[in-house]
Amino acid sequence: MIKKKMVRKGARKFTRRDSEGQPRRPYPFILKKRKCRFCADKNLNIDYFDGQFLRKFTTERGKIIPSRISGNCARHQRKLAKAIKRARNAGLLPFLAE
Tell me the pLDDT tens digit for each residue of 9-57.
555 555 667 777 777 666 556 666 778 999 999 999 999 999 999 999 9
The burial of 79, by beta-carbon neighbours within 10 Å (0-12 exposed, 13-18 middle, 19 or more buried), is given as middle
Q: Which domains does the chain have, with CATH numbers?
A: 37-90 (4.10.640.10)
Q: Of 51, 58, 43, which Cα lies nearest the Cα of 86? A: 51
pTM of the model: 0.66
